[in-house]
Structure formats: structure tokens, C-alpha cells
């Protein structure tokens, strides 16, 4: 057996790529940010969040925004979608097909950041700031204004359907002898019955609304071929090129945060990651610092297109 195969055999993948723990409802175990003034409790809160992040490379914080802030943010998402796609109407699912281009393929609503009021407030939210400071173990942090992800449902989508109107029942002659109020009440009941018969809700699937499959398009924010992480681009700056032998722009952790405005379970689309991936970066065949001698790209199929694009 080759030296390379011996090394692979000795790897403890259960430790390197651990399974994320779940709560009783099936969601990834999350943590609340302690918002009180007790310094001892703050430090304990920071410790448990930071240790979880160090082990898994990802952590879920559950109380970043209030219900009111979440509602306002959700409204602004729809505002932003409608701003960019005029024929899209949030309350009419039959118009949801009018999202197109990269937004339809990737789920990101344009490449422009969302500058709505609540979104900007979210970026300055003290709970979100504290979450990042705990994870990075650093209070000197800054934020940028990011993009908006909006994924359309693909299964059991409610659509309004109409049935052919039935002919009005003939009003019997004796109705004319009834009191006016009684006639009005009966008319209302009959009209309501007609409405119920004419308008119904049907549930349909739209598999074509899925975003692109990972085998067709893969977006990564860390390129193992170059050992670079990205802040919107992999392109080197003049500063890093000039001082690349003296200055390592990636010497600190680079993290990316996503604020989910609705619950995300196994049935919904959204953020995906490989827990513990940061533990095996030096074993990635495409990584220039890799100790593996076997660089067969078949082992890293998802990264092959990215690798070829940068070489």
C-alpha cells in the first residue's frame, strides 16, 4: 500500500468532518447571545459559541433579530425583488416566474447590495456584532452591506384557479313577498356561495424554479487551488501583490455570515456547508500546502472547474 493510501487510512473522518448536533425539532443546535451586563455570563457565552465554531467551522445563533425586525426585513426582501423585477408581485404566485437571469439560477437578487433601511440597521445590530466578535475573538471588526438571497418554493405552491360560473338559480315568485331585509340576506348568502364555487386554490410544483445544480455551477468562497479566500473576488490587490512575500492577507480567519429571515429545514433551500472542512484544508489535493501526493482531480470533482479556471 502506498504512503498516500496509508495516510488516508489513518485519518479519523468522524473527528475531522463531524456531524452537526441537532435539537428535538431537527434543526442544528443553536445558541442565544447573552444580552445582559454580567461579564462572567458574557465570557461563558462567548466561550461556548467560540468553541463550537472552532470544532465545526460553523455556528448557529438563534436570537439575533426580534420578531419585528424579522418582519420588516422580510417585507424589504419582497420590496427589493419587486424593485428589480417589476412583473413580480409578492401576493400573486402566478407572477413569480418573472424572476430570470442569474437571480433565477443562483437565488441572489442581482449583484447589487440591498440598501433598505432595516437591512442597514441589521448590519449595525449589536447582537450580530457580538456574534462575530465572539466567533473571531476580536472586537475590532467592521461590516459591509451584502446581497439578498431569495429562493422560490418548488413544491406545493398555492395558485388561484377559477371555475366556470354556474347559471344563477331562478328566484321563485314567492320571494317577492318576503321582507326586504330577508331578501338581502339571502342574496348575500347566494353571492358568497357563488364566490366559493368560482375561486379555488390549487397546489402545483415548479421544478424549473430550482437553482442550478452544484454539478453545473459551483460557487466557493475559498479556493483550495490558490489558498485564497474572497471578499467579493479572488483578484489580488496592488498592495498584496507588492508585499506578498512579507504580508499574508489571510493570516486571520475569514468568516461569512447569513441572516436567515425564516426557518430553514431539510425541505427548504438555502445555505449549505461541510462542517469541519477547515480541519482538512491541508489535505485537499488542490491545496498548494497539501501533504497528499495524489492530486487526481477525480477526487475533487466539485473543485475541478474552479481549479482549471485559475490555472
Cell of 287: 491545496
Cα separation of 299 and 8, whole Å?
Answer: 12
pLDDT at 255: 80
pLDDT at 163: 59
Residues in the chain predicted with pLDDT less than 50, given as ranges, are: 1-8, 165-178, 233-235, 292-311
pLDDT at 208: 94
pLDDT at 172: 43
pLDDT at 80: 96
Cell of 155: 413544491
Cα separation of 291 and 311, whole Å?
Answer: 20
The model's pTM is 0.71
Q: Considering only CA atoms, which of 298, 131, 154 is closest in space to residue 213?
A: 154
pLDDT at 220: 67
pLDDT at 130: 93
pLDDT at 253: 72
303-307 contacts: CB < 8 A, separation 24 or more? 303/218, 303/220, 303/224, 303/225, 305/218, 306/218, 306/220, 306/223, 306/225, 307/225
Residue with cell 314567492: 174
pLDDT at 102: 86
pLDDT at 118: 95
Cα separation of 110 and 82, whole Å?
Answer: 12
Q: How many CB atoms lie within 10 A of CB 182?
A: 10
Cα separation of 209 and 152, whole Å?
Answer: 7
Question: For residue range 282-309, what is the model confidence (pLDDT) as tens digits?
Answer: 666 555 555 544 444 333 434 433 333 3
pLDDT at 182: 61
| pLDDT, averaged across the chain | 75
Amino acid at each position: 500500500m502506498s504512503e498516500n493510501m496509508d495516510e488516508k487510512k489513518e485519518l479519523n473522518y468522524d473527528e475531522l468532518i463531524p456531524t452537526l448536533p441537532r435539537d428535538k425539532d431537527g434543526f442544528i443546535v443553536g445558541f442565544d447571545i447573552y444580552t445582559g451586563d454580567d461579564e462572567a455570563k458574557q465570557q461563558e457565552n462567548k466561550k461556548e459559541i467560540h468553541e463550537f465554531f472552532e470544532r465545526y467551522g460553523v455556528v448557529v445563533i438563534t436570537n439575533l433579530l426580534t420578531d419585528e425586525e424579522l418582519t420588516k426585513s422580510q417585507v424589504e426582501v419582497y420590496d427589493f425583488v419587486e424593485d428589480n423585477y417589476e412583473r413580480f408581485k409578492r401576493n400573486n404566485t402566478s407572477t413569480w416566474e418573472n424572476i430570470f437571469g442569474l437571480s433565477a439560477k443562483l437565488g441572489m437578487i442581482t449583484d447589487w447590495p440591498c440598501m433598505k433601511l432595516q437591512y442597514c440597521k441589521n448590519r449595525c445590530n449589536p447582537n450580530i456584532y457580538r456574534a462575530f466578535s465572539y466567533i473571531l475573538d476580536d472586537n475590532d471588526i467592521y461590516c459591509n452591506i451584502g446581497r439578498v438571497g431569495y429562493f422560490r418554493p418548488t413544491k406545493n405552491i398555492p395558485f388561484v384557479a377559477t371555475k366556470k360560473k354556474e347559471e344563477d338559480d331562478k328566484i321563485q315568485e314567492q320571494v317577492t313577498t318576503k321582507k326586504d331585509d330577508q331578501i338581502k340576506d339571502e342574496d348575500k348568502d347566494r353571492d358568497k356561495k357563488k364566490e366559493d364555487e368560482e375561486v379555488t386554490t390549487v397546489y402545483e410544483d415548479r421544478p424549473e424554479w430550482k437553482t442550478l445544480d452544484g454539478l453545473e455551477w459551483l460557487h466557493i468562497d475559498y479556493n483550495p487551488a490558490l489558498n485564497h479566500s474572497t471578499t467579493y473576488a479572488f483578484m489580488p490587490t496592488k498592495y498584496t501583490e507588492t508585499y506578498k512575500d512579507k504580508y499574508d492577507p489571510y493570516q486571520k480567519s475569514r468568516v461569512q455570515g447569513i441572516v436567515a429571515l425564516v426557518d430553514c429545514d431539510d425541505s427548504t433551500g438555502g445555505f449549505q456547508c461541510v462542517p469541519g472542512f477547515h480541519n482538512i484544508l491541508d489535505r485537499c489535493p488542490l491545496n498548494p500546502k497539501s501533504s497528499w501526493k495524489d492530486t487526481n482531480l477525480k477526487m475533487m470533482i466539485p473543485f475541478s472547474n474552479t481549479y482549471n479556471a485559475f490555472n
